[in-house]
Amino acid sequence: MGQQQLLLIVLGVILVGVAVVLGIQYFSVGAEEGAKDELVAHSIIVGANAQQWFKKPVAMGGGGNTYVGFTTHFNTNLQKLQSSTNGTYAPSGETTTQVTITSTPTLAEYDWTVVTTVFVDSMVTVVTPN
């Protein structure tokens, strides 16, 4: 083989190697964004359940216009909402008018959490770095 042909083969191998590395990197970024989106969506579902519980009368198993007691209700009655393939969800900081849902990703390499603050008639979701 000539020197020019060897040079073309080496150049081709280098280009394929760079393409593979970039593909893996893009896949990793996409996977993390997908996990983030899923945690945000699931946090909103938990928040909607909190608002339903808030508005339901105590006689019907609800909060009776307070979020106090939602964590206990969540831990005993909503086990299916406590975790997903991408993370875990935990309510805290309940007051009469708000509760906070903290979503933690399953993979330790993700250095962020999703915090959803649920109010009486709205929700605010923020992705916060650790």
Q: Please tell me the predicted confidence (pLDDT) of residue 36.
A: 94
The pTM score is: 0.80
Amino acid in position 84: S
User: From the CB of residue 51, how many other CB atoms can be counted at a distance below 10 Å?
Assistant: 19
Q: Please tell me the predicted confidence (pLDDT) of residue 21.
A: 87
Please give the average pLDDT of every successive group of 10 residues along the chain, which has 130 residues: 84 89 79 92 95 96 95 90 93 96 94 96 94
Q: Please tell me the predicted confidence (pLDDT) of residue 129.
A: 92
Contact 82, 75 (CB under 8 A): yes
User: From the CB of residue 121, how many other CB atoms can be counted at a distance below 10 Å?
Assistant: 8
